[in-house]
């Protein structure tokens, strides 16, 4: 299909809005893309080729779905809003390699869907313009399920993308950076202006690319213990690591004991959490865990 006919233009989007009397629901994060060039960029950055199985979250009117259908082998998309059924039936009627599953992605066993809808061994990639109100829960739902997928390329709120991809000693670095980078190699690949959306969101956007790791970059004895300790270390960002850890362990360990562990890990307790590498968090978490 030529670009002139693409769904992602202001005029086509308006045409479908009018045809189906569709009204945007802010509560579902409905900001549709009206710029084909942005979509081409996303498809290229995601490495979508004719052998790829693509999963999309939130197809909306099908702007990105259409591009995926043209470039991938097969597309499976999850959409929570049943009102989009007739719209998507219409906009995607030219494509027989697309299936839309009308359900909440957070309540979906995506692993099961992959097993049922794609060929065994097929390379699967997730590509989406995510609803901003629920970006982090959706990404953590996907990452924690440890799915057989190669990468995730998503348009999200710029501030969240920066936090997910942040490196130590930066303002954006925090427990979200560690959680995401434990599972993936994260990179912000494109900043996107508000003008490419209808309606325009209040926040700036960015495209984040996550390559899934085959195994975590560090060994941790207990993952939930590790993530809890990382979160506690950042509880009060401006305070020292010693201070945050003493507060976290106050009912369990004396300050001296916390200091002993910090020394054993060769980490200066007067540092702030934002200066710690993931390896250092892993080392600390493993030492504290062994005490439990």
Q: Residues in the site for ligand SAM, rule: CB under 6 A?
A: 28-33, 57-60, 63-64, 78-81, 104-106, 129, 131, 134
- The minimum distance between CB 211 and ligand SAM, in angstroms, equals 22
Nearer to ligand SAM, 43 or 105 (CB): 105
Nearer to ligand SAM, 77 or 178 (CB): 77
- The minimum distance between CB 173 and ligand SAM, in angstroms, equals 26
CA atoms within 13 A on the CB side of 102: 10
CB 283, CB 256: distance < 8 Å: no
Nearer to ligand SAM, 54 or 64 (CB): 64
Rounded to whole angstroms, the Cα distance separating 164 from 187 reads 8
Rounded to whole angstroms, the Cα distance separating 271 from 241 reads 6
Strands 124-129 and 53-57: parallel
- The minimum distance between CB 213 and ligand SAM, in angstroms, equals 25
CA 70, distance to chain mean position in Å, is 23
Angle at 150 between CA 208 and CA 39, to 5 degrees: 45
Nearer to ligand SAM, 98 or 253 (CB): 98
- The minimum distance between CB 107 and ligand SAM, in angstroms, equals 8
Nearer to ligand SAM, 34 or 229 (CB): 34
Rounded to whole angstroms, the Cα distance separating 14 from 213 reads 41
- The minimum distance between CB 117 and ligand SAM, in angstroms, equals 16
- The minimum distance between CB 186 and ligand SAM, in angstroms, equals 20
The residue number with the shortest CB distance to ligand SAM is 58
Rounded to whole angstroms, the Cα distance separating 170 from 173 reads 5
CA 101, distance to chain mean position in Å, is 20
Nearer to ligand SAM, 64 or 265 (CB): 64
Q: Where are the beta strands (DSSP E) in 35-123?
A: 53-57, 74-78, 98-101
**End-to-end Cα spacing for the chain:** 61
Nearer to ligand SAM, 99 or 268 (CB): 99
Distances (CA, A) of 223 to 86, 187, 228, 285: 43, 23, 9, 9
- The minimum distance between CB 104 and ligand SAM, in angstroms, equals 4
Pair of tokens at residue 131: 């609803």
């Amino acid at each position: 299909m030529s670009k002139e006919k693409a769904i992602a233009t202001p005029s086509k989007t308006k045409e479908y809005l009018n045809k189906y009397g569709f009204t945007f629901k802010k509560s579902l994060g409905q900001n549709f893309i009206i710029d084909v060039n942005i979509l081409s960029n996303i498809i290229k950055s995601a490495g979508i080729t004719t052998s790829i199985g693509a999963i999309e979250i939130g197809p909306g009117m099908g702007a990105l779905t259409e591009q995926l259908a043209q470039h991938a082998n097969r597309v499976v998309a999850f959409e929570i809003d049943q009102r989009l059924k007739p719209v998507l039936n219409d906009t995607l009627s030219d494509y027989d390699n697309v299936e839309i599953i009308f359900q909440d992605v957070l309540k979906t066993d995506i692993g099961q869907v992959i097993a049922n809808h794609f060929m065994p061994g097929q390379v699967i990639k997730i590509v989406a313009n995510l609803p901003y109100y629920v970006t982090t829960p959706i990404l953590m739902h996907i990452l924690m399920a440890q799915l057989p997928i190669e990468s995730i390329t998503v348009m999200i709120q710029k501030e969240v993308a920066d936090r997910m991809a942040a490196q130590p000693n930066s303002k954006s670095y925090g427990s979200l950076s560690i959680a995401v980078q434990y599972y993936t190699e994260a990179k912000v690949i494109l900043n996107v202006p508000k003008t490419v959306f209808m309606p325009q969101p209040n926040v700036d956007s960015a495209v984040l690319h996550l390559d899934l790791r085959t195994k975590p970059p560090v060994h941790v004895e207990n993952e939930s213990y590790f993530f809890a300790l990382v979160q506690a270390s950042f509880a009060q960002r401006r305070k020292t690591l010693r201070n945050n850890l003493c507060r976290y362990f106050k009912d369990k360990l004396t300050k001296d004991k916390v200091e002993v562990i910090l020394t054993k890990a060769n980490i200066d307790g007067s540092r702030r959490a934002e200066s710690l590498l993931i390896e250092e968090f892993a080392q600390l978490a493993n030492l504290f865990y062994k005490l439990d």
